[in-house]
Amino acid sequence: MTRILTLVAALAAFAALAVGVSAGAAAEKPSLADEVAAKLGVSPAELRTAFRAVLTARVDAAVAAGKLTPEQAAKLKERIANAKGLGLGVKHGFAKKQQALVKRIGVRAKRLGAASEYLGLTREQVRAELKAGKSLAQIAAAQGKTADGLATAMLAPVKDRLAKAVAAKRLTRERADEILERLNERLEQRIQRTRPARS
């Protein structure tokens, strides 16, 4: 994942420590956030304000880097401002949604529907050739097709999905291009890869 998602994962882990105190324990002693505030000589409210300011600044930086759309940033800022605790769970939830979207797009790139259509074979025929130990590139060559043409055909539905996500403001153009480049590299490896024949 991108650096922003790695950052979010780290922040979320800290958030679990900071605000994950059970109701029973909270009644007996102050939360970790309260203890940290006391250690720093600030009020819990000041600590939470500082955390939210940092989160908001990171959202702005993500927009400037093309990782978030302005619409996504506005929603995140609103949720950070209204969140209980330190507001870190808001970005964690957003990161999980982004990861799920990227995973769904990646799964589409692995499906054989577009490949079989380009090759003029059924999915079952393509699977049988793969089980026989051939690579997708070898199957394409046997059909008078090219590996590059196969990659283009397999990426077409992915490009369409990414374009829709960008149009719906769910991804920035820069982020979509990063995803496409990464998937293209993986797909090229997959097309050339062979596995031992299976009976």
What pTM does this model have? 0.48
Label residue 184 left, alpha or beta by phi (over 0 means left) and psi (-120 to 50 means alpha): alpha
In tens digits, what is the pLDDT along the chain, a chain of 199 residues? 344 434 444 444 344 434 443 344 444 566 777 788 788 888 878 888 888 888 888 888 888 888 778 888 888 888 887 776 555 555 455 556 556 656 665 555 456 788 888 999 998 999 899 899 999 999 999 999 999 999 999 888 888 888 988 898 888 888 888 888 888 888 888 899 888 877 6
DSSP string, 86-122: TSHHHHHHHHHHHHHHHHHHHHHHH-SHHHHHHHT--
Q: Please identify which residue in the block is written with the tokens 């500082």.
A: 50
Rounded to a whole number, what is the distance in angstroms from the first to the last CA of the chain?
Answer: 37
Domain ranges of the chain: 3-98, 111-192
Identity of the amino acid at 51: F
Q: Is 79 helix (H, G, I), strand (E, B) or coil?
A: helix
Distance CA 162, CA 179 (A): 9
